[in-house]
Amino acid sequence: MFNGEAIYQAFSSAFPLLTARDFQGGRVSFETFPHAVTCALRGQEGTSAKEKRRQRPEVLENAKIDISGLKSIDDFDAALCALSARYLVEGRTYAYGNVEGGYIHVPIP
């Protein structure tokens, strides 16, 4: 989390935080969460934090993402967040939250 904050600070002037519910294009940073991405893309199958080492790679493989180079849970989490970015650009995310507290964008399968 601290590394994420440092990265955000380094890039925030070029990639400002998306503060709207809907993405209108351009260069932005946005919040997402690997567990929420996994839940959304697994649908009604359920998701367990205890099973994340099995379920998260499965979600990526179902999205046709090559996971052979991913070794740690952090790698899988980063890939899930990148997948969420693809969904955002395609206009296929749901934004949880509000203007005051911010939004977390999660894929709509």
Residue-wise pLDDT tens for the chain (109 aa)? 678 789 889 999 999 999 999 999 999 999 999 999 999 999 867 788 899 999 999 999 999 999 999 999 999 999 999 999 999 999 999 999 999 999 999 999 8
Please give the model's pTM, rounded to 2 decimal places: 0.90
Quick check: helix, strand or coil at residue 17? strand
Would you say residue 6 lies in a domain?
no
Would you say residue 9 lies in a domain?
no
Tokens of 10: 């380094």
Would you say residue 19 lies in a domain?
yes
Would you say residue 2 lies in a domain?
no
| Half-sphere exposure in the Cβ direction for 57 (13 Å, CA) | 12
- Enter the DSSP assignment of 59: H
Into how many domains does the chain fold? 1
- Report in angstroms the alpha-carbon separations of 48 from 36, 54, 56, 98: 11, 10, 10, 26
- Report in angstroms the alpha-carbon separations of 69 from 7, 9, 72, 82: 22, 28, 10, 15
Would you say residue 10 lies in a domain?
no
Would you say residue 54 lies in a domain?
yes
Would you say residue 41 lies in a domain?
yes
pLDDT for the residue 1: 65
Structural domain including 71 reads 15-107
pLDDT for the residue 82: 97
Would you say residue 27 lies in a domain?
yes
